[in-house]
Amino acid sequence: MKILKRSTVLMTFAFTIFASAQETTKIKVSEESEAPVISKHIYGHFSEHLGRCIYGGLYVGEESVVPNTAGVRNDIIDALKELQIPNLRWPGGCFADTYHWKDGVGPKDERPTMVNRWWGGVTEDNSFGTHDFLNLCETLGAEPYLAANVGSSTVQEFTEYVEYVLHKGGSPMAEWRKEHGRDEPWKVKYWGVGNEMWGCGGNMTAEHYADVYRQYATFMTDWTNSDGLFRIASGANVDDYHWTEVLMRDVPKHLIEGVALHSYSFVEWNEKGSSIDYSEEQYFSTMKTALKMDTLVTKHSAIMDKYDPDNTIALVVDEWGGWYEVMEGTNPGFLYQQNTMRDAMIAGTTLNIFNNHAERVKMANLAQTVNVLQAVVLTEGEKMLLTPTYHVMKMYNVHQDAKLLPVEFDSPTYDFEGEALPAISVSASKDESGDVHISLVNIDAHKEHTINLSLEDLDVKRLSGTILTSENLQDYNSFETPDAIQPKEFSSIKVKKGIAEVELPPFSVLVLKGE
Ligand code: AHR
């Protein structure tokens, strides 16, 4: 089943490149007893100390006029709860390997300041620290994913962090935590052992990092002896397959639970273009890099299969999303961008890729939650809005912890100036209550596509759903019109003899529920 599913996805992709546009696209959704469960953690998020993600975004401080709980905006708490975010990664990113956790605990007025050297050179007062983050995760019902400092830390600082967070009592760090007002340890399973160690984490070679990783991981202990630790090694930059190969080869299995991968979508890395004012050519290029995720995941997984045929180590795509130029007049180091239907296309297609690779991809984190890169929430003073990406993530959360249903289809192509991309992307799942969900994306900027859904294997009589689309590809939700792009009800259709036909408008995301 493993191999079958991957090759189906691959074959589909290869086919689309050569297939000519066809009137109707046939998609067969079936049931496969050995299919994996789509981990809810694929729907994770990432909040870094970067620009206005934490300070002036999530965290406004207890004295703020903006309604808050322990300094975190209530409107964002509500929005993230509604989104059912399963996990949240913090405090970086590149910031993580400059962060010394002890500076962010204890009385806030006694905490030292620090300069955020990666992002805008701003001075931070450390008022949002480990207690603030972990308590926020408890409020959200999300599992914390702590990306801990390796690049400018020591094994002692790192292991004391684990002890501070997880030890019950009677150890120096646990007692220090209690002095700071938290008696019980938190539940933190996910630990990142550094970030981008090939770059901002220390410019290490894969071989050197593999050794450093082994050293740090050796001293990490699950003090609670409950759920075990899930240690995630800093992973490859995009298509650096050598990095994955070395980690998988050189790190013993008992020391590692996950290997990360970072890949962003953009027009051109050195000429990213505006987030709102872009041409079709720029849209096409962005989608090309977004769809490359399928190849990346396939190839990194193949390396992992070689060293870990029993699939005990997860591929964790803990940074993904669209990256454009910052909005005019904003700090270039703050990475603040708007979010249009292009971002909805990136979100829909990327999540479909992760779902279809659920066997190896067990976790992923969209970059980033608030006011940075492909954010789900934007704020301006007291105002807050939900982006098209937020709506896609919410529509897709029906796949969380549901069983993958394999799909077979030949996509028509989205053609632009002699190049072709697969226009349609699909994934499907069946949840515990037996409900079937199918998420479809049409990235074509102009063409509507008729989808002929074959559901003969499934007991589905009727399909209803939610669709996200807009008049123009460049449309977005602004603070003046925060509800311009909203998911709409998709009129329900009958399934006759296992077949249903749906029309998929240009640049749209549709999630169907079968009953
Ligand atoms: O998400 C922004 C930055 O992108 C992160 O800090 C870093 O890990 C990556 O290069």
pLDDT of residue 213: 98
Give the DSSP letter of residue 400: T
Query: Helix 155-166 to helix 130-140 angle, to the nearest 10 degrees?
Result: 40
**Mean pLDDT of successive 10-residue stretches along the chain, which has 515 residues:** 32 36 83 95 98 97 97 98 98 98 97 97 98 98 98 97 96 98 96 98 98 96 78 98 98 97 97 97 98 98 98 98 98 98 98 98 98 98 98 98 97 97 98 96 97 94 96 98 97 91 96 95
pLDDT of residue 11: 34
The verdict on the CB of residue 97 being under 6 Å from ligand 1 is: no
pLDDT digits (tens, 9 = 90+) for 292-335: 999 999 999 999 999 999 999 999 999 999 999 999 999 999 99
Q: Could you give the dihedral angle defined by the CA atoms of residues 128, 132, 138 and 139, in that order, rounded to the nearest 10 degrees?
A: -80
Is there a catalytic annotation at residue 380?
A: no
pLDDT of residue 9: 38
Number of the ligand 1 atom closest to the C-alpha atom of 46: 1
pLDDT digits (tens, 9 = 90+) for 359-385: 999 999 999 999 999 999 999 999 999
pLDDT digits (tens, 9 = 90+) for 215-239: 999 999 888 655 689 999 999 999 9
CA distance 49 to 142: 19
pLDDT of residue 228: 87
The verdict on the CB of residue 367 being under 6 Å from ligand 1 is: yes
Rounded to the nearest 5°, which phi and psi values hold at 300?
-65, -40
CB atoms within 10 A of CB 457: 14
Rounded to the nearest 5°, which phi and psi values hold at 441?
-130, 135
Give the Å distance between the CA of 368 and the centre of ligand 1: 9
pLDDT of residue 225: 54
pLDDT of residue 222: 85
- Most ligand 1 atoms within 8 A of CB, residue of 53, 193, 200 to mutate: 200
Question: Whose alpha carbon is nearest atom 8 of ligand 1?
Answer: 93
- Can you read off the two tokens belonging to residue 510? 């549709």
Helix, strand, coil in percent for the chain, rounding step 5:
30, 25, 40
Query: What pTM was estimated for this model as a whole?
Result: 0.94
- Can you read off the two tokens belonging to residue 311? 């699939």
- Most ligand 1 atoms within 8 A of CB, residue of 46, 196, 326 to mutate: 196
Q: What b/e string do you get for 217-227 counting C-beta neighbours within 10 Å, with b at 16 or more?
A: beebebbbeee
Structural contact between residues 380 and 322, judged by C-beta atoms closer than 8 angstroms: no
- Most ligand 1 atoms within 8 A of CB, residue of 94, 98, 145 to mutate: 94
Task: Tell me if residue 147 falls in helix, strand or coil.
Answer: strand
Number of the ligand 1 atom closest to the C-alpha atom of 373: 1
CB atoms within 10 A of CB 37: 17
pLDDT of residue 226: 57
Which is it for the CA torsion 281, 347, 362, 37, positive or negative?
negative
Please tell me whether the peptide bond between 93 and the residue prior to it is cis, using omega within 30 degrees of 0.
Answer: yes
Which of 364, 345, 329 minimizes the C-alpha distance to 470? 345
